Amino acid sequence: MTNFPYINIHTHHPTGNKDTVEIPNLFLQEVDFDILKLANKEGRKVSIGLHPWHISSQQFDIEQLKGYCLNNAVFAIGETGLDRVINCPWETQLSIFEQHLLLAEEIGKPVIIHAVRSYPDIISVKKKLKVKTPFIIHGFNGNSQTADQLLNNGCYLSFGHALLQNKPKLIEAFTKTPVDRLFLETDDNAALHIQSVYQQAAALRNCTEAELKSQVFRNFAHLSEKG
Residue-level pLDDT at 57: 82
C-beta neighbour count of 210 within 10 angstroms:
14
- CA-closest candidate to residue 201, choices 3, 1, 2, 9: 9
The pTM for the full model equals 0.96
**pLDDT tens digits, residue range 17-40?**
999 999 999 999 999 999 999 999
**What does the buried/exposed string (b/e) look like for 126-149 if buried means 16 or more CB atoms within 10 Å of the residue's CB?**
beeeebebbbbbbbbbbebebbee
**What's the N-to-C CA distance of the chain in angstroms?**
28
Residue-level pLDDT at 80: 98
Q: Please give the DSSP secondary-structure letter assigned to residue 187.
A: B
Residue-level pLDDT at 56: 86
Q: Where are the domains of the chain?
A: 6-226
Q: Is the pLDDT of residue 132 over 60?
A: yes
Rounded to an integer, the average pLDDT of 104-131 is: 97
Q: Is the pLDDT of residue 2 over 80?
A: no
pLDDT band at 226; cut points 50, 70, 90: low
- Decide: 219 and 8 in contact? Cβ < 8 Å: no
Max Cα separation, the chain? Answer: 52
Residue-level pLDDT at 227: 57
- Is 132 or 58 the better-scoring residue by pLDDT? 132
Catalogue the E-assigned strands of the chain: 6-11, 20-27, 46-49, 74-83, 111-116, 135-137, 155-159, 182-184
- Kindly state the helix (H) or strand (E) to which residue 37 belongs, with its residue range: helix 33-42
C-beta neighbour count of 111 within 10 angstroms:
28
**pLDDT tens digits, residue range 139-165?**
999 999 999 999 999 999 999 999 999
Rounded to an integer, the average pLDDT of 97-119 is: 98
C-beta neighbour count of 161 within 10 angstroms:
18
| Beta bridge mates, 182 | 157
Q: Write down the architecture of domain 6-226 according to CATH.
A: Alpha-Beta Barrel (3.20)
Please tell me the least confidently modeled range out of 1-5, 14-18, 74-78, 112-116.
1-5
Q: Please give the DSSP secondary-structure letter assigned to residue 18.
A: T
- Torsional class of 107: left (φ above 0), alpha (ψ -120 to 50), beta (otherwise): alpha
**pLDDT tens digits, residue range 183-220?**
999 999 999 999 999 999 999 999 999 999 999 999 99
CA–CA distance, 220 with 52 (Å, rounded to integer): 25
**pLDDT tens digits, residue range 45-94?**
999 999 999 998 888 999 999 999 999 999 999 999 999 999 999 999 99
Rounded to an integer, the average pLDDT of 129-146 is: 97
Rounded to an integer, the average pLDDT of 121-139 is: 97
